[in-house]
DNA sequence: TATCCGTGGAT
DNA sequence: TATCCAAGGAT
């Protein structure tokens, strides 16, 4: 039985590598700031989704220094829609740590990177390898899949990740650690895909034990996960006569932490529609939307009934929230579910999109 | 180790 | 429609 040769992967990579905005051309020196920014954005997020955010972020915050000095609101707004908002908070904290702790330059080793906010085992290895040429094993979902198929690893993820890391590290070419990491990810993204892998085009088709057994689809082994129960609630779109909408800021941690929202009642599997207006921010002529806004989070689905009202002089308790002109909604860090809610509420009031 | 944390696209 | 899942990290 022949063992997989890293050189075969590198030959394939030199011919088939994807051109991506955060990648340099062969021979160019990568900018650690761009490498780091792209790696954070790409966590659990598709390349296609990241591309426009990466460009906009870079235009708005060209350097780690500028990002560190930016207000938190500006960072959250630039991230709005991309999801996993703790990444944005940690991104900001990390930029500030790089400035204060490391003089504005990213540390060059996996161990030092690992100590920064939002940088874990994968990202520290990826940045160390890609930006600084350190021999490190950047094990992400792609690498888990490639290695568990290549060696037909039976330990289910995430426990099996340790062996994947050992196998990967043992194969890193000393002269091209960054390219090897990116080659593995390209292979996983384009050839060794979750379903219907294109084994005929794979540089490692011969030594791959899963392919030899015809069981590519059975790897990586994974433990079954359970879904959460449906939660329901009420959301309140209140428009003042000067076309300003009542918003508030969510608590800094937890679900949608630090993001903006319209007032809502509790989101609960025991939500009672008959008492929904108990949670309204003010007395008004509330009109319910015909259909609910549905949204699916990682661990539970959500249905929000939208109540909308226009009033000239809303009696809002102090501290309830703030009024933002509808024309400035783009500057608010609104998660996708809240953009759906606001669109629905405006439709109820016949205000449409403007 | 298990759970929490978004979103949009593919099948 | 239902399910999976994509360059994970924090707790």
Task: Kindly list the domain boundaries of chain A, sorted by start residue.
Answer: 6-218, 231-348
Q: How far is CA A308 from CA A153, A159, A241, A325, in A?
A: 55, 48, 13, 16
Range name among A52-66, A289-303, A309-323 with the lowest pLDDT average: A309-323
Looking at the domain that runs over A6-218, which CATH code has it been given?
A: 1.10.340.30
The predicted pLDDT at position A352 comes to: 78
- Distance, first Cα to last Cα, chain A: 65
**In this complex, which residue's CA is closest to the C1' atom of nucleotide C11?**
A254
Q: What angle do CA A218, A220, A221 make, to 5 degrees?
A: 75
Active site residues of A: 39
Sign of CA dihedral A313, A318, A320, A325: positive
**CA–CA dist A241, A249 (Å, integer):** 22
Chain A residues 41-70 within 7 Å (CB) of strand B: 44-46, 48-49
Q: Considering all nucleic acid strands, name the nucleotide whose C1' atom is nearest to the C-alpha of residue A80.
A: B6
The predicted pLDDT at position A220 comes to: 96
**CA–CA dist A10, A307 (Å, integer):** 57
Q: What is the mean pLDDT of residues A270-283?
A: 95
Q: Residue A87: which of A131, A136, A134, A50 has the closest Cα?
A: A50
- Strand B–CB A287 distance below 7 A: no
The predicted pLDDT at position A215 comes to: 95
Sorted by sequence, the CB contacts under 8 Å of residue A258 that are 6+ apart come out as: A72, A76, A85, A88, A89, A249, A250, A251, A252, A333
Of residues A67 and A225, the one with the higher pLDDT is: A67
Confidence band for A354, pLDDT divided at 50, 70 and 90: very low
Fold of A231-348: Nucleoside Triphosphate Pyrophosphohydrolase (3.90.79)
Q: Do the bridges between strand A231-240 and strand A301-311 make them parallel or antiparallel, or are there none, so unpaired?
A: parallel
**In this complex, which residue's CA is closest to the C1' atom of nucleotide B7?**
A83
- Strand B–CB A229 distance below 7 A: no
């Amino acid at each position: 039985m022949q063992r997989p040769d890293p050189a075969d992967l590198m030959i394939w990579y030199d011919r088939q590598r994807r051109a991506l905005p955060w990648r340099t051309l062969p021979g160019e020196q990568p900018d650690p700031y761009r490498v780091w920014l792209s790696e954070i954005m790409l966590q659990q997020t598709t390349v296609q989704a990241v591309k426009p955010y990466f460009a906009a972020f870079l235009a708005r915050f060209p350097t780690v220094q500028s990002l560190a000095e930016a207000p938190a609101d500006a960072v959250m707004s630039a991230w709005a829609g991309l999801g996993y908002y703790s990444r944005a908070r940690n991104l900001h904290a990390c930029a500030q740590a790089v400035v204060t702790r490391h003089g504005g330059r990213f540390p060059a080793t996996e161990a030092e990177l690992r100590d920064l906010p939002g940088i874990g085992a994968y990202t520290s290895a990826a940045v160390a390898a890609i930006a600084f040429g350190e021999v490190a094993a950047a094990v992400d979902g792609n690498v888990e899949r490639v290695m568990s198929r290549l060696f037909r690893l039976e330990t289910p993820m995430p426990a099996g990740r340790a062996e994947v890391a050992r196998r990967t590290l043992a194969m890193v070419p000393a002269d091209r650690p960054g390219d090897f990491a990116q080659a593995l990810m390209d292979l996983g993204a384009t050839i060794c895909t979750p379903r219907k892998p294109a084994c005929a085009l794979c540089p490692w088709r011969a030594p791959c034990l899963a392919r030899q057994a015809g069981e590519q689809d059975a790897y990586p082994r994974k433990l079954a996960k359970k879904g959460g129960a449906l939660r329901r609630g009420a959301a309140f779109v209140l428009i003042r006569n000067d076309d300003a909408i009542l918003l508030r800021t969510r608590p800094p941690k937890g679900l949608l932490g630090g993001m903006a929202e319209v007032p809502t009642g509790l989101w609960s599997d025991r939500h009672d529609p008959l008492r929904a207006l108990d949670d309204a921010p003010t007395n008004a002529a509330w009109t319910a939307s015909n259909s609910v806004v549905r949204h699916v989070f990682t661990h539970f689905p959500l249905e929000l009934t939208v109540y909308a009202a226009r009033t000239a002089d809303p009696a809002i308790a102090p501290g309830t929230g703030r009024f933002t002109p509808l024309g400035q909604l783009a500057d608010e860090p609104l998660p996708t579910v809240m953009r759906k809610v606001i669109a629905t509420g405006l439709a109820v009031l016949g205000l449409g999109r403007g």
